[in-house]
Amino acid sequence: MAVQKALDSAKKRNFTETVELAINLTDVDLTVPKNRITEDIVLPNGRGKAVKVCVIGGGELALKAKDVADRVITPEELGEIANDKKQAKKIANEIDYFIAEAPLMAVVGKRLGTVLGPRGKMPKPIAPGADPAAMIEGLRKSVTIRTKDRKTFHAPVGTVEMSAEEIADNIDLIIKRVEAHLEKGKHNIASAYVKTTMGPSEKVAL
């Protein structure tokens, strides 16, 4: 089993290595935007590490998010952050997912789009006053699959502290979801490999 091999061949490091999946596509023209894949996938066993979520909103939403989000940015703070490119980049790099109050989406896009867009971190909308807890919980177990114009893409599927079975379940789901986007399903997947951050890669049986 590829996952077990990858875990077994990982040397002990002084940090927790991420386990990554690399998928190589074939016979797909990714210069055509409709063939590209962008999807958030909630992993059955989570990512095995902390995923940071930031909520951008005011009033009731900000209050509810205070105890569940890693960071809350109010509409007032949004302007200050947008005017300080260095701070905006720092936040964009530290946070994995952003959620924004629906009426603020256009403002966030205008003010922070240049920082969040290229990182694939444009916020997901939420209704004003909604309880963000469930959405945050889902995002903390999610990975985002994004194919740009390259036929190889990577996704984190766990950490070396998780069991091989848990990681394999996560990989199975990602491959199924990727197949669902492809015209010829699994025939558009040339190969898949799993590896730890610094370990050798092992071929996944498709």
Give the residue extent of every domain in the chain. 2-48+143-203, 53-139
Q: What is the pTM of this model?
A: 0.85
Report the pLDDT value the prediction gives residue 149, as an integer from 0 to 100. 83
Nearest CA to 122 out of 140, 103, 109 is that of 109
- Provide the percentage of residues in the chain whose pLDDT is more than 70: 100
Residue 108, pLDDT > 90, answer: yes
Instruction: List phi, psi (to 5°) of 75.
Output: -55, -35
pLDDT tens digit string along 180-197?
Answer: 999 999 999 999 999 999
> Which residue do the tokens 């740009």 mark?
148
Pairing of strands 71-73, 53-56: parallel
Beta strands in 66-197 (DSSP E): 71-73, 97-101, 124-126, 142-146, 152-159, 189-196
Q: pLDDT of 132-179, one tens digit each?
A: 999 999 999 999 998 988 899 999 999 999 999 999 999 999 999 999
pLDDT band of residue 10 (cuts 50, 70, 90) is confident
Sign, Cα dihedral of 29, 31, 32, 37: positive
User: For residue 129, is pLDDT > 90?
Assistant: no
Q: Give the pLDDT of residue 9.
A: 87
The confidence score (pLDDT) of residue 28 equals 94
Judge whether residue 29 has pLDDT over 90: yes
Answer yes or no: is pLDDT of 99 > 90.
yes
Tell the CATH superfamily of the 2-48+143-203 domain: Ribosomal protein L1/L10, rRNA-binding domain (3.30.190.20)
CA-CA distances (angstroms) from residue 97 to 37, 61, 63, 88, 139?
Answer: 18, 16, 19, 14, 7
The enclosing H or E element of 26 equals none
What's the mean pLDDT in 68-84? 95
State yes or no: pLDDT of 1 exceeds 90: no
Q: Transcribe 44-55 into DSSP letters.
A: TT--SS---EEE
Q: What is the pLDDT of residue 106?
A: 96
Element containing residue 203 per DSSP (H, E): strand 202-203
What CATH number belongs to 53-139? 3.40.50.790
Across the range 66-76, mean pLDDT stands at: 96
Q: What integer pLDDT is reported at residue 14 of this predicted model?
A: 86
Q: How confident is the model at residue 33 (pLDDT cuts 50, 70, 90)?
A: confident
